[in-house]
Structure 1
């Protein structure tokens, strides 16, 4: 009535042994996974979205070991490791050379890596890999991206047509940014309200030396054409503004104030009223009559 198919004890016929074994295996697996989940958690990185060439950049990695000892923290750019922290070793930091990456060891530790004088090659995806020590050696990895950019130093330039700034016509203009990599974004505002651009394009600086590099700085030019309505002029004035930005590292603006054109009322002192205009011939007639009477009087004498 009993048989032993698994070597783990006596089992009943009908496959009860298999179901019991599967349940035990599932139980131990859940216990194992539960211990794994809580041994190393909350791994997160803080990586700036963008930085300028030659800036100092801090890459931070935070985690919760929940009492487990730390085995190692590794930093990768792409698939290549460039920094390692091992608390049990002396020195406890190691650097592996990569183009453009200059690690400041005096400021780098288990939670932070500081990069000095960053170069364009530093642009890329970065990963922080955290491992707990024996007996579990749990490992988690989190990643983020960093862009090294070329920001301009000058303001954008703007031109706005000033002819016929009145209802029924359009405000036309263009705005161009200094060269940058990546290309700048342009936003148009009229009296602080965002207005959609008509079109935009990117082009090289005609005064720059031509290059086939993928990081070639380009000028962004945006065109504006918007119809003037009853809300365009506030108090007889319209403030047209062009805002250029590159990530959160460059933001410059330029503006132009337009004065509303209104037909000027003609002064009554120049043209006179209808009554005064009609009175002029009457005055002349009286003078003529007086003159005729005077001449007749002279001749009769």
Structure 2
């Protein structure tokens, strides 16, 4: 009987143990800049919750290649594996973040943080994010408008070209501060013979066709804007003023200013009275 009760107790404990959800690493999150300029310093963050378990290792990968490892039980507790363009600043890096100095174009790619808890679980989880190292345009976009004097019903035809960049810039159109949709967008690769670069760059061109309507002009003028942007790092803008060829007369110009109208009424009423008085006088004299 004693053996049976002991076996039953062990079985209950095993069922209870395996029914508990055991997870060594929880809520791993990464914060990676979406974009950085060449030669910038960037910080990659990796935050994790071990739920009380000891840390075994933190690893960072670019693509499939490991370039950083932190193992608290070893000395030295950090290891660097060389990758082109990646320069880890060990003096500023911690188990939760690594600092990359003087980033190069090759640094563009997907970065993954892998965290493992120590024995007995050795639970491992990972999370990742993508970072671009960008070549921003060195100038603002160029805006050309076919005609800057138009009537209602005619078409605004304009061309906006952004200088070379990597990746290609985005172009947006605005009329009187309100965004409008462009009809045609083209990205053209610039050859290395023109630009000395280790990777491709692109020129972005957008053509706008927009029919002029009753609400296009404000006091006979409209402001057309072309905005080229690249992430939150670059923004260039050019503007052109388009004028209405045949402005519609405003009510104030037809009726005249209110003050002037009032003065006329004050002048003409006495004159009318004088004329009536004169006619009355000559009739009954």
Band of TM-score, shorter chain: 0.7 to 0.9
Cα offsets for 1:241-285 (capped at 9, x unmatched): 0000112211111111122222699xxxxxxxxxxxxxxxxxxxx
Of residues 214, 220, 227, the one that matches 1:243 is 227
User: Secondary structure of the residue that 1:229 maps to in structure 2?
Assistant: coil
Matched, 1:222 2:206: yes
* Shift in Å, 1:110: 0.2
User: Secondary structure of the residue that 1:121 maps to in structure 2?
Assistant: helix
Matched, 1:154 2:139: yes
Contact 1:93-1:109 at 8 Å conserved across structures: no
Matched, 1:100 2:89: no
Aligned to 2:255: none
RMSD: 2.7
Determine the C-alpha separation between the residues in 2 that align with 1:122 and 1:154: 24
* Shift in Å, 1:116: 1.1
* Shift in Å, 1:161: 2.3
Contact 1:149-1:182 at 8 Å conserved across structures: yes
Unaligned runs of 5+ in 2: 6-10, 250-285
* Shift in Å, 1:56: 1.1
User: Secondary structure of the residue that 2:150 maps to in structure 1?
Assistant: coil
Aligned to 2:18: 29
CA 1:255 to 1:96, structure 2 compared with 1: closer, same or farther past 3 Å? same
* Shift in Å, 1:240: 0.1
Unaligned runs of 5+ in 1: 1-7, 11-20, 266-301
Matched, 1:141 2:130: no
Determine the C-alpha separation between the residues in 2 that align with 1:204 and 1:144: 27
* Shift in Å, 1:45: 0.3
Aligned to 1:51: 36
Largest Rg, 1 or 2: 1
The equivalences for 1:184-199 within 5 A come to 184-199=169-184
Cα offsets for 1:210-256 (capped at 9, x unmatched): 58989311211111111100010012110100000112211111111
CA 1:163 to 1:148, structure 2 compared with 1: closer, same or farther past 3 Å? closer
Of residues 207, 231, 237, the one that matches 2:215 is 231
* Shift in Å, 1:193: 1.4
Of residues 92, 101, 118, the one that matches 1:116 is 101
User: Secondary structure of the residue that 1:219 maps to in structure 2?
Assistant: strand
Contact 2:59-2:66 at 8 Å conserved across structures: yes
CA 1:56 to 1:95, structure 2 compared with 1: closer, same or farther past 3 Å? same
Determine the C-alpha separation between the residues in 2 that align with 1:260 and 1:178: 31
CA 1:26 to 1:125, structure 2 compared with 1: closer, same or farther past 3 Å? farther
Contact 2:190-2:200 at 8 Å conserved across structures: no
Contact 2:148-2:243 at 8 Å conserved across structures: no
CA 1:254 to 1:163, structure 2 compared with 1: closer, same or farther past 3 Å? closer
Determine the C-alpha separation between the residues in 1 that align with 2:4 and 2:73: 45
CA 1:153 to 1:212, structure 2 compared with 1: closer, same or farther past 3 Å? closer
Determine the C-alpha separation between the residues in 2 that align with 1:222 and 1:121: 29
Aligned pair count reads 243
> Which is richer in strand?
2
Determine the C-alpha separation between the residues in 2 that align with 1:30 and 1:230: 71
User: Secondary structure of the residue that 1:177 maps to in structure 2?
Assistant: strand
User: Secondary structure of the residue that 1:203 maps to in structure 2?
Assistant: strand
TM-score, normalising length: structure 2: 0.77
